Amino acid sequence: MNGVAVFSRCVAARLASPLLSLTLSLAPALPLAAQAAGPDGFPSRPIRVLVPQPPGGSMDANMRVLAEPLERELGARVLIDNRAGANGIIAGELLGRAPPDGYTLLYTSNSFANNQVLLARAPFDVLRDFTPVTLAATMPGYMVLVHPSVPAHTLAELVALSRRDGQTIHYGSGGIGNSQHLLGELINARTGARLVHVPYKGLAPMTTGLIANEIQVAFAAPTTVLPLLASNRLRALAYTSTRRWPGAPDVPTVSEAGVPGFAYEAAWHGFFAPAGLPAALSGTIQTAIERALRDEKARDFFVQGGYAPVGGTGAEFTRYLGTYLRDMAELIRLAGVKPE
């Protein structure tokens, strides 16, 4: 069985897991799971949510839309603190130094967790050094994008172009070890492409770099680039999910575009708190987030952006992370990425 098939099987297993099936439980007609009440008086001041991305990326946009209903559910202001850089490590270290009182949270993506399987000396362990609060959402695929000047209109043509002598095709990511980085290396390993990685400090500067032709290839959430596709400032070659994205039905899947069996789950977003957060307090925050994800405006924004809201318990998120980290370690091995 080839590497992509193994990874696709891992993804399929996660998609069939009890945690991801909770996506269906977010319909307003269904009751929330019972949660322990938080301490009296919480919250009594604003809650800071760290986002390891500059303004403009999909993670930042999702959190800003979610902040309004979350404020209503918590009865306190939600202050977004953008702390980009080092693939989420800067924000993670800030969270690790915060007291476990519920007033500092981290809204982050799978790239944050990837650090511990990509770095030889990871600065933290997401399961040991933090409290997983809830899995907020998952996204089934990325668009494979190129600058319009690239003389490739299919994925097969891009692969062939990258293999020409004297031709260098750069692809960007939001940082070493994040999901775009791994996707590029997996495409290289699976197709024989010779795409060269260029890390940026977040997805927004990466997109800017692609528009400016500093890099020629990138991978992004569909709706974050729709205006750029419509204005012909970027071109989409493929979508990495098992099915075409409904918002761009003419864009083939990577499997349809010449890499049979290829599927790459793009991302997940989740909330973490400092280690040692009391279970009752974690439950209070998780319940508020789950209710906020049911807000019609927030839910529509997530879905239109290609995300599926989830909202499971902290224990369920912890189990999901354990499976995810095992799968990513295998993917990194298959893609030939060496811990740095």
User: Domain 3-139+267-335 is of which CATH architecture?
Assistant: 3-Layer(aba) Sandwich (3.40)
- On average, the pLDDT of the chain sits at 86
Amino acid at 305: G
Given a contact cutoff of 8 angstroms between Cβ atoms, the answer to whether 332 and 111 are in contact is no
Given a contact cutoff of 8 angstroms between Cβ atoms, the answer to whether 275 and 102 are in contact is no
Q: What is the pLDDT of residue 246?
A: 85
62-117 pLDDT, tens per residue?
999 999 999 999 999 999 999 998 888 999 999 999 999 999 999 999 989 988 88
Q: What is the pLDDT of residue 15?
A: 36
Concatenated DSSP letters of 43-102: -SS-EEEEESS-TTSHHHHHHHHHHHHHHHHHTS-EEEEE---GGGHHHHHHHHHS-SSS
Distances (CA, A) of 266 to 64, 139, 222, 242: 21, 6, 11, 11
Query: 105 - beta bridge partners?
Result: 49
**% of the chain exceeding 70 in pLDDT:** 88
Q: What is the pLDDT of residue 224?
A: 82
The residue ranges of every structural domain in the chain are: 3-139+267-335, 143-239
Q: Which CATH superfamily is domain 143-239 in?
A: Periplasmic binding protein-like II (3.40.190.10)
Please report which residue ranges of the chain form alpha helices under DSSP H: 3-15, 58-74, 89-97, 110-118, 155-162, 179-191, 203-211, 222-230, 279-293, 296-304, 314-335
284-310 pLDDT, tens per residue?
999 999 999 999 999 999 988 888 899
b/e 40-52 (16+ beta carbons within 10 angstroms → b): eebbeeebbbbbb
Q: What is the chain's alpha carbon radius of gyration, rounded to the nearest angstrom?
A: 20
Between 10 and 103, the more confident residue is 103
pLDDT greater than 70 at residue 35: no
Contacts of 333 (CB under 8 A, 6+ apart): none
Query: 197 - beta bridge partners?
Result: 171
Model-wide pTM > 0.75:
no
pLDDT greater than 90 at residue 132: yes
211-268 pLDDT, tens per residue?
999 999 999 988 788 899 999 999 999 999 999 988 899 999 999 998 999 988 888 9
* Two structure tokens written together for 137: 């959402």
153-182 pLDDT, tens per residue?
999 999 999 999 989 999 999 887 778 988
Distances (CA, A) of 3 to 108, 117, 141, 189, 219: 27, 18, 18, 9, 20
Classify 281 as helix, strand or coil. Answer: helix
Let me know if the fold of 3-139+267-335 is the same as that of 143-239.
Answer: yes
Name the region of 261 (left: φ>0; alpha: ψ -120 to 50; beta: rest): left
Q: What is the pLDDT of residue 39?
A: 63
Q: What is the pLDDT of residue 14?
A: 40
Rounded CA separation 75/44 (Å): 9
* Two structure tokens written together for 134: 């809830």
**In this structure, are strands 267-274 and 217-220 parallel, antiparallel, or unpaired?**
unpaired
